[in-house]
Amino acid sequence: MDEQAILTCMEIITNTGSAKSSYIEAIHEAKKGGFEQAEAKMNEGDEFYAKAHEVHTSMIQKEAGGEKTEFSLILMHAEDQMAGTEMAKVLATEVIDVYKKLLLEK
Protein backbone atom coordinates (compact mmCIF):
# COMPACT_ATOMS: atom_id res chain seq x y z
CA MET A 1 0.00 0.00 0.00
CA ASP A 2 1.48 3.36 -0.98
CA GLU A 3 1.92 6.30 1.38
CA GLN A 4 -1.09 8.23 0.02
CA ALA A 5 -3.39 5.25 0.56
CA ILE A 6 -2.13 4.90 4.13
CA LEU A 7 -2.78 8.60 4.77
CA THR A 8 -6.27 8.21 3.33
CA CYS A 9 -6.98 5.29 5.66
CA MET A 10 -5.64 7.26 8.60
CA GLU A 11 -7.98 10.12 7.72
CA ILE A 12 -10.91 7.72 7.89
CA ILE A 13 -9.69 6.25 11.18
CA THR A 14 -9.11 9.67 12.74
CA ASN A 15 -12.49 11.08 11.75
CA THR A 16 -14.44 7.99 12.76
CA GLY A 17 -12.64 7.94 16.10
CA SER A 18 -13.57 11.57 16.68
CA ALA A 19 -17.16 10.87 15.67
CA LYS A 20 -17.37 7.92 18.04
CA SER A 21 -15.98 10.04 20.89
CA SER A 22 -18.57 12.73 20.20
CA TYR A 23 -21.38 10.17 20.28
CA ILE A 24 -20.15 8.84 23.64
CA GLU A 25 -19.87 12.39 24.97
CA ALA A 26 -23.48 12.95 23.85
CA ILE A 27 -24.58 10.01 26.00
CA HIS A 28 -22.72 11.48 29.00
CA GLU A 29 -24.44 14.84 28.47
CA ALA A 30 -27.85 13.19 28.25
CA LYS A 31 -27.17 11.25 31.42
CA LYS A 32 -26.75 14.59 33.22
CA GLY A 33 -29.93 15.93 31.61
CA GLY A 34 -28.07 18.13 29.14
CA PHE A 35 -30.12 17.27 26.11
CA GLU A 36 -29.21 20.38 24.11
CA GLN A 37 -25.53 19.63 24.69
CA ALA A 38 -26.15 16.00 23.76
CA GLU A 39 -27.73 17.08 20.49
CA ALA A 40 -24.76 19.36 19.79
CA LYS A 41 -22.36 16.46 20.42
CA MET A 42 -24.38 14.20 18.12
CA ASN A 43 -24.21 16.87 15.41
CA GLU A 44 -20.46 17.20 15.98
CA GLY A 45 -20.12 13.44 15.59
CA ASP A 46 -22.13 13.54 12.38
CA GLU A 47 -19.76 16.16 10.97
CA PHE A 48 -16.72 14.01 11.72
CA TYR A 49 -18.43 10.94 10.28
CA ALA A 50 -19.39 12.84 7.12
CA LYS A 51 -15.71 13.69 6.57
CA ALA A 52 -14.75 10.02 6.93
CA HIS A 53 -17.58 8.95 4.65
CA GLU A 54 -16.49 11.45 1.98
CA VAL A 55 -12.97 10.04 1.96
CA HIS A 56 -14.30 6.48 1.92
CA THR A 57 -16.65 7.25 -0.97
CA SER A 58 -13.74 8.73 -2.91
CA MET A 59 -11.81 5.49 -2.46
CA ILE A 60 -14.77 3.46 -3.69
CA GLN A 61 -15.24 5.71 -6.72
CA LYS A 62 -11.57 5.36 -7.64
CA GLU A 63 -11.80 1.58 -7.44
CA ALA A 64 -15.01 1.59 -9.47
CA GLY A 65 -13.09 3.59 -12.07
CA GLY A 66 -10.45 0.90 -12.35
CA GLU A 67 -7.88 2.12 -9.81
CA LYS A 68 -7.37 -0.92 -7.61
CA THR A 69 -6.94 -0.50 -3.87
CA GLU A 70 -4.39 -2.79 -2.31
CA PHE A 71 -5.81 -4.71 0.64
CA SER A 72 -4.02 -4.10 3.91
CA LEU A 73 -4.56 -4.36 7.63
CA ILE A 74 -4.86 -0.58 7.91
CA LEU A 75 -7.61 -0.52 5.26
CA MET A 76 -9.43 -3.31 7.08
CA HIS A 77 -9.11 -1.32 10.32
CA ALA A 78 -10.53 1.81 8.65
CA GLU A 79 -13.50 -0.18 7.34
CA ASP A 80 -14.06 -1.69 10.79
CA GLN A 81 -13.94 1.72 12.44
CA MET A 82 -16.57 3.03 10.04
CA ALA A 83 -18.90 0.15 10.84
CA GLY A 84 -18.32 0.52 14.57
CA THR A 85 -19.01 4.23 14.43
CA GLU A 86 -22.28 3.69 12.61
CA MET A 87 -23.37 1.34 15.39
CA ALA A 88 -22.17 3.78 18.06
CA LYS A 89 -24.43 6.45 16.56
CA VAL A 90 -27.45 4.16 16.52
CA LEU A 91 -26.87 3.11 20.12
CA ALA A 92 -26.19 6.68 21.29
CA THR A 93 -29.46 7.83 19.76
CA GLU A 94 -31.35 5.06 21.53
CA VAL A 95 -29.64 5.65 24.90
CA ILE A 96 -30.32 9.39 24.70
CA ASP A 97 -34.00 8.67 24.02
CA VAL A 98 -34.11 6.44 27.10
CA TYR A 99 -32.51 9.16 29.24
CA LYS A 100 -35.06 11.67 27.95
CA LYS A 101 -37.88 9.38 29.02
CA LEU A 102 -36.35 8.67 32.39
CA LEU A 103 -35.36 12.21 33.25
CA LEU A 104 -38.18 14.19 31.68
CA GLU A 105 -41.07 11.99 32.75
CA LYS A 106 -40.35 12.17 36.48
Annotated active-site residue in 28, 53, 56, 77: 77
Active site residue 53: no
SS3 assignment for the chain: CCHHHHHHHHHHHHHHHHHHHHHHHHHHHHHCCCHHHHHHHHHHHHHHHHHHHHHHHHHHHHHHCCCCCCCCHHHHHHHHHHHHHHHHHHHHHHHHHHHHHHHHCC
Q: Which residues are catalytic?
A: 77
